Amino acid sequence: MMFRSLVTGCGAYLPSQVVTNADLSKRVDTDDAWIRQRTGICQRHIAAEGEMTSDLGLAAAKEALAQAGVAADAIDLIVCATSTPDETFPATATRIQYGLGMAGGAAFDVQAVCSGFVYGLSVADNFLRSGQASKALVIGAETFSRILDWEDRSTCVLFGDGAGAVVLEGIKQDGPPNGKDRGILSTHLYSDGSHHDALYVDGGPSSTQSVGHLRMEGREVFRHAVVRMAEAVDAALEANGLTPGDVDWLVPHQANIRIIESMGKRLNLPSDRVVVTVDRHANTSAASIPLALNEAIGDGRIRSGDLLMMEAMGGGFTWGSALVRW
């Protein structure tokens, strides 16, 4: 018996502390105009002292479950995408599992940096399609503020903290899959480890026995992002026999407004059909797509039956896409 994954609920959480570009200009040699012009970012949310990635993820998960009308003990799989776990181990997903009061099922993390939510969605989708799980929580949660070098103006202005989550339910597939089905139509994952030095953290248990700080070659990342994400978008459309004109909404990773606009043009989508939150959230890595998704669902832009294209690229490099009929 074949199943497909239906998205039944979405939730999000942003820390209450907001740091504007003007606030950052008091800390590093930068200004609001410089940041806006290059990135589109105006502000970001920063986790409070003692507020951990699992706290953010738990809050987003609870909201997603409430929206879906699903009890926590009905979930048999939690996949948490994060590059900033509470600890080296155990998995942050298990902390969230405990916080939800769950004693059964499986919970684990996936680490694909900014592509993490797409990777997590793919993993959960395959569990549900195979019948190994019936209901799943996919969470993107990050506290990137903990790994930033706040003396480096080229990186510290780019990132923020937050979490988003979706509830997936496996439903019986009646007949062969087609592009009109609701749910996850397909996911497409890629990586290329030869670009390690373009975006990485200069620390880790095995290398430096420390956490380290984020390091990035911005121009190199930008150049690859436009090309790689376009490839992932094309793969998703081809796999489902669809064209750019079939896509109702682009829900992209929120890294840079220029990259987002470039992808919107590739799909020939007007700007009001591209979900943009980078101006208020900055780059929240694995949390950025579910945060954007939650906002567009919450304000009524995304409606039942709409076709959504999600795409992302992160350190590694990793990149991917997911085509979802809401």
Return the active site residues: 114, 253, 283
Q: Tell me if 169 sits within 8 A of 76, measured CB to CB.
A: no
Q: For residues 103 and 89, what is the distance between their CA atoms, to the nearest angstrom?
A: 18
Residue 193, classed as helix, strand or coil, is: helix
- Give CA separation, 198 vs 2, 31, 164, 202, 286, in Å: 41, 25, 26, 12, 18
Q: For residues 166 and 65, what is the distance between their CA atoms, to the nearest angstrom?
A: 8
Instruction: Compute the radius of gyration of the chain from its Cα atoms.
Output: 18
Strand partners, 314: 318
- Give CA separation, 177 vs 133, 145, 230, 269, in Å: 20, 42, 24, 26
* Tokens encoding 71: 């009890």
Amino acid of residue 186: S
| Distance from chain centroid for Cα 186 | 16
Q: For residues 229 and 147, what is the distance between their CA atoms, to the nearest angstrom?
A: 25
Q: For residues 133 and 168, what is the distance between their CA atoms, to the nearest angstrom?
A: 10
* Tokens encoding 33: 């105009």
